[in-house]
Amino acid sequence: MKRIVILAMLVFVLLLVGCKESVQQPEEQTVVEPVEKAPLTVTSAPEPEEQATEQPEEPAAPEVPPAPTCGDGVCSGAENCDRCIKDCACKSPAECYQSRCKVPECGGDGDCKDNSTCTIDKCYFAQNPNAYCGHELIERCKNSDKCCPDGCNANTDSDCEAVCDNHICEPGETSDSCEKDCAEADCGNGDCEQGETEENCREDCYTGSVCGDDVCESGETIENCYIDCM
């Protein structure tokens, strides 16, 4: 028994000694050297390629013609026969009138004939650029002017021909050749008929007209008032 105790004590002593040595001798530490890290390379995303945009071609500036110059032999721009007669002179028979070349319509009355015997043909402003023809209608009954105006008859105008059935008994007509116009007058029927006058049938023929006032009025004829109706 004593042996066992002794052995146990020896084992204990040995263990104790071993523990002290392990405490006194520090364990070798493994030094881990730092590993140099490779620098991080930041790669930026590639920028998108710019697409070339075709620019429309600018239209060429219009050519500006040179300003007209009086005396350059060309009538252009604001030049006219008034402003620049050197370049814009009118060619005969045209004449300059209100800044433009105008051919007069007539040079005299003879240029205005319209082949009508019942108009008075006249050239107004003759010998001027603005001359023009006028045709005045003849309205008054007048002998030997080659015109029989409306409202005239063979009694009031020698240029008129007798017309049967116009209710007027004219020279050359008789009760036999034109009874409608030349029947015997019936004073008092309201119509101033052939042969009736204000003097012999005032009832039919009175109009208040005055013979001698140079106006051939209603009821007056070349027979009863020659001075007015000649």
**212 DSSP 8-state letter:** T
CA R_g for the chain: 68
Q: Output 18 or 12, whichever has higher pLDDT.
A: 12
Closest CA to 169 of 217, 223, 213, 122: 223
Quick: pLDDT tens for 115-164. Answer: 999 999 999 999 899 999 999 999 999 999 999 999 999 999 999 999 99
For residues 144 and 157, the answer to whether their CB atoms sit within 8 Å is no
CA distance 78 to 25: 123
Query: Percent of the chain at pLDDT above 70?
Result: 78
d(CA 89, CA 91): 7
Quote the pTM value. Answer: 0.43
Give Cα 46 distance to the centre of its chain.
Answer: 66
